[in-house]
């Protein structure tokens, strides 16, 4: 187990869709241990595998003291009538936060290390985290979801920060 370095915006792996996990082997088990250990720190809500340089569909979460992971996650439900527009940040875009439109509730299905089905769902911060991390696994960063004016400001701030 190791706390892994976080890749920052500009690293091509963050813009590459991750591959499904087809074989739960020692590499995948080690990846999950690293994801869980790396997300289990103050101020960290979620972490996708590509954020630590691994192009596989896996993420970990740390919401309200609940730490876990999902392999091959897919969003299967979003609230259709309740939304949130709160500030969102990302470990791969350090210290920059912008209002991001998300569904209030999200439900993700995937598998665990035993290949058994896993369901993770939640509202507000958990809902935001599930959407954010599954986006990462598709090669998206939250700034891709910003409205035009906010995205322009974010890209300016990113350049100014030297990422």
Residue 60 lies in a domain: yes
Residue 4 lies in a domain: no
| C-alpha torsion sign, points 4, 51, 142, 144 | positive
CA of residue 119 relative to chain centroid, distance: 16
Residue 150 lies in a domain: no
The 10s digit of each residue's pLDDT in 37-47 is 999 988 899 99
Q: pLDDT averaged over the chain?
A: 96
Residue 48 lies in a domain: yes
The answer on pLDDT for 101 being more than 70 is yes
How many distinct structural domains can be found in the chain?
Answer: 1
CA dist., res. 126 & res. 98, Å (int): 18
Question: Does 19 qualify as catalytic in the annotation?
Answer: no
Question: Which residues are within 8 A (CB) of 85 and not within 5 positions of it... i.e. 6 or more apart?
Answer: 99, 100, 101, 102
CATH code, domain carrying 69: 3.90.45.10
**pLDDT for position 2:** 82
Residue 163 lies in a domain: no
How many Cα atoms are found within 13 Å in the side-chain-facing hemisphere of 127?
A: 19
**Residue 163: band (very low, low, confident or very high) from pLDDT cuts 50, 70, 90:** confident
**pLDDT for position 42:** 86
**pLDDT for position 104:** 98
The answer on pLDDT for 10 being more than 70 is yes
The answer on pLDDT for 1 being more than 70 is no
Active-site hit among 33, 66, 80, 133:
133
Residue 54 lies in a domain: yes
**pLDDT for position 53:** 97
Q: What is the mean pLDDT of residues 105-129?
A: 98
The domain in which residue 135 lies consists of 12-82+102-142
The answer on pLDDT for 94 being more than 70 is yes
Please calculate the CA angle 67-35-63 and round it to the nearest 5 degrees: 25
Q: How many residues does the chain have?
A: 163
**Residue 102: band (very low, low, confident or very high) from pLDDT cuts 50, 70, 90:** very high
**Residue 22: band (very low, low, confident or very high) from pLDDT cuts 50, 70, 90:** very high
% of the chain beyond a pLDDT of 90: 94
**Residue 17: band (very low, low, confident or very high) from pLDDT cuts 50, 70, 90:** very high
Residue 55 lies in a domain: yes
Residue 123 lies in a domain: yes
């Amino acid at each position: 187990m190791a706390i892994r370095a976080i890749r920052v915006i500009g690293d091509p792996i963050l813009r590459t869709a991750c591959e499904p996990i087809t074989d739960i082997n020692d590499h995948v088990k080690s990846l999950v241990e690293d994801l869980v250990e790396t997300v289990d720190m103050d101020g960290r809500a979620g972490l996708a595998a590509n954020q630590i340089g691994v192009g596989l569909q896996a993420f970990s979460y740390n919401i309200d003291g609940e730490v876990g992971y999902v392999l091959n996650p897919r969003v299967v439900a979003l609230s259709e009538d309740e939304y949130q527009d709160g500030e969102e940040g990302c470990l791969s875009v350090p210290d920059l936060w912008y209002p991001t439109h998300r569904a209030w509730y999200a439900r993700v299905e995937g598998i665990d290390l035993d290949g058994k089905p896993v369901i993770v769902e939640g509202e507000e911060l958990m809902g935001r985290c599930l959407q954010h991390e599954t986006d990462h696994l598709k090669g998206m960063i939250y700034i891709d979801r910003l409205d035009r004016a906010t995205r322009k400001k974010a890209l300016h701030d990113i350049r100014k920060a030297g990422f």
